[in-house]
Amino acid sequence: MSTASVISRSKQLAARAEKVIPGGVNSPVRALKSVGADPIYFERGDGPHLFDVDGNKYIDYVGSWGPMVLGHCHPRVLEAIEAALAHGTSYGAPCRQEVEMAELICQLIPSIEMVRMVNSGTEATMSAIRVARAFTKRDIILKFEGCYHGHGDSFLAKAGSGLATLGISSCPGVPEETTKLTITVPFNDLDAVKKAFKEHAKEIAAVILEPVVGNSGLILPKEGYLAGLREITSQNGALLIFDEVMTGFRVALNGAQGRFDIKPDLTTLGKIIGGGLPVGAYGGRREIMEMIAPKGSVYQAGTLSGNPLAMAAGLAQLKHLQQADSYVRLTNKTDLLAKGLTELAEKKGGMKVAHITGMITVFFTDKEVVDFESAKQCDTDKFAKVWRKLTDKGIYWPPSQFEAAFLSTVHSTKDIEETIKAFEESV
C-alpha cells in the first residue's frame, strides 16, 4: 500500500474540513496528530474491512470504536435498517422497537430492571450520575484515572481516551465548582477508594468506572477488585455505576458485569445496541429508575431517543449475538491474535499484550499495565512509528496508545495472520 495514495484525496478533504470544522475533524483522535499522520477519510466498510477514498483496503480493528461486533454492513443489520427506513427516520414519539429493545436489555442484563434510551454514551453517563445524586441526596462522584465516560463536565478530570491521546489532563470551560464534585483515584487500587470514602463517606453519591478499562488502552481489573468496589459502595450507601458503553454485549452477552459476576446499581450502555447508529442507554434498579420523569422528578429528555432506525439496527445485532457460538467465535479470534502478538512481544521485548473477548491492546512497555499511570509510561513515539507502518501494510489499528482495538466475529484466520505478520515487520 502506498502512503502517497492515501494522502491524495484524504488530504484534499482534510484541507476543506479545516476551513469549516474545528481542527478539521468531528472527534479529536481522528486528526491522527498523536501518530504523526494526516486524517484518513473512509468511503465504505465491508465485513472486517474498511476502504478509504483512494480505494485502499484495510483490516479494521477500530470497528467504529466498538459497535461493529458483527463487522461492517452485516446483512441482518442492514435488512433491519432498510425495513425501518421504509416507515420513516424519526417520529419524536414512542415506537415498537424501543419497547422491544428495553425488554431485551432487561432480559440479558439482570441488574437492569428498567432502562431509558438516549443518543450517546455521554448522555447516558451524564444522566446516570444525575439520577444517582437525586437518589442518594449526595453530590460527589468518584471516578478513576484513565477511565473515560464521555465529555460531560464531571468526567473530564484525568480522563483517558482522546484527552490522554492529546495530553490534556483537564478541560478549559469546565467550572472549578464542578471539578470539586469529582474525586479521582487510581484504577485497581482499593485502598485509594477506601481512603476517599473515609474522608467523604456521607458525600459520595456514586462510584463510576469502566469495569474493564478500554480508554487507557485495555486494562483488566485485578482479581477481587470489582467485588471490593461493590462491597465498599454498599456499606457506605453509595451507588455503583458500571460504564459498559464499550464492554456491554462485547466481552460477554451480559457484559463485563456478567463475566465478573458483579451486580451494579446502574449501568450505561451504547455502541453495540445501535448497530453502528448513534445510541446510548442507562438503566438499573427499578426504585432508582422510577425517579426519572415523567414517573419521577429527575428530568432528562431527548427528541431522537429511541430512534426507530437505531433501535432496529441494535435489535438485529443483539438477536444475532444470542446465537450459541457468537462469543465462542469472538473469543477464539481474540485469543488467536493475542497469542501471536504475545509471542512477538516475548521475542522482541518492550511490549505487553492485554486482551479479553473482542478487545486487545499492545502496550509498548516492559512493565505490566495496571492503571493509567503505568499506561502513561508507554513509549508513544514507538507506538506512532509502528502505527504508521501498520497503516501502510493495510492494518487500521486504533491511532492511539490509549485506546483498545476491537475484533469482530467476521475477522478471519487469514486476517489475523496478516495482522500478526504486519506487526512482526513493523516493530
Pick the closest to residue 120 from 149, 155, 145, 93 (CA basis).
Answer: 149
Q: Which of 148, 225, 282, 327 is catalytic?
A: 148
CA distance 288 to 266: 8
Sequence-distant (6+) residues with CB within 8 A of 166 are 28, 29, 33, 34
Q: Which of 33, 143, 158, 271 is catalytic?
A: 271
Annotation says 385 is catalytic: no
CA distance 16 to 216: 31
Backbone φ and ψ for 257, nearest 5 degrees, come out as -65, -35
- Strand, helix or coil for residue 60: strand
- In terms of Cβ atoms closer than 10 Å to its own Cβ (0-12, 13-18, 19+), residue 185 is buried
Pick the closest to residue 408 from 330, 339, 353 (CA basis).
Answer: 330
Annotation says 54 is catalytic: no
Distances (CA, A) of 76 to 250, 271, 313: 18, 17, 8
Handedness of CA 411, 414, 416, 421 (dihedral sign): negative
Q: Which of 33, 52, 143, 243 is catalytic?
A: 243
Cross-sheet strand order for the sheet of 359-363 = 352-356, 359-363, 405-406
Annotation says 271 is catalytic: yes
Catalytically active residues are 148, 243, 271
